[in-house]
Amino acid sequence: VSWFDVVKFSNQLNKIIGLEPTSNDNYELLTPKGQQTTKIVEVAGFRLPTEAEWEYAAGGGNQAQGKKTIYAGSDDLDAVGWYSGNNEYETKPVGLKFPNQLGLYDMSGNVFEWCWDWYDNDFYNYGDENNPVNLAKGSLRVLRGGAWDYLAFNSRIAYRDYHAPGGRWYDYGVRLVFAL
């Protein structure tokens, strides 16, 4: 599934439940009144998470109570995720491993998950300290979480990857957020 596919899908979900799309045909963010915005906090409905939102959720949010883990929910990837060391041939159904502290499954491994942000290798050196989001134009979008056919290293919460938004791969997936 491509980044473009996911954005179109989330806009259709919003229409089904009676909400406005979260982005326009140029993939620019929209407020609930249909006005273009550069502030993701003004967007309501189904959408891709920002990279920071994804990382917060993978890390267990406030439920982690200061205990950081390497992978989403554990320092033992075999307990929480699928990667090349324990899965040779396919994506697995969600929920076969343990969830993280927020009850979220498969945030480490199984499939890479698209994020809203444009990729910039140095973004965390100059982006906002709290809830940063890279809305600057670029050519690559962020992927997080690792995949079943990658090494354990790629499934770490801190690992960042990227691809052109039109790219579709067998190990790319989606986890939407619902913003109020």
DSSP letters, 118-159, are: EP-TTHHHHS-SSS----S--S-EEEES--TTS-GGGGSTT-
| pLDDT band at residue 63 under the 50/70/90 scheme | confident
Residue in 130, 120, 123, 131 with CA at minimum distance from that of residue 179? 131
Extents of the domains making up the chain: 48-179
State mean pLDDT over 1-20.
98
Q: What is the mean pLDDT of residues 94-106?
A: 97
Alpha carbon separation from 12 to 15, 52, 166 (Å, rounded): 5, 24, 18
**Among 3.90.1580.10, 3.40.50.300, 3.90.79.10, 3.20.20.100, what is the CATH number of 48-179?**
3.90.1580.10
Least confident of 53-57, 65-69, 152-156: 65-69
Average pLDDT, the chain: 95
98: nearest Cα among 85, 86, 107:
107
Q: Are 63 and 72 in contact (CB under 8 A)?
A: no
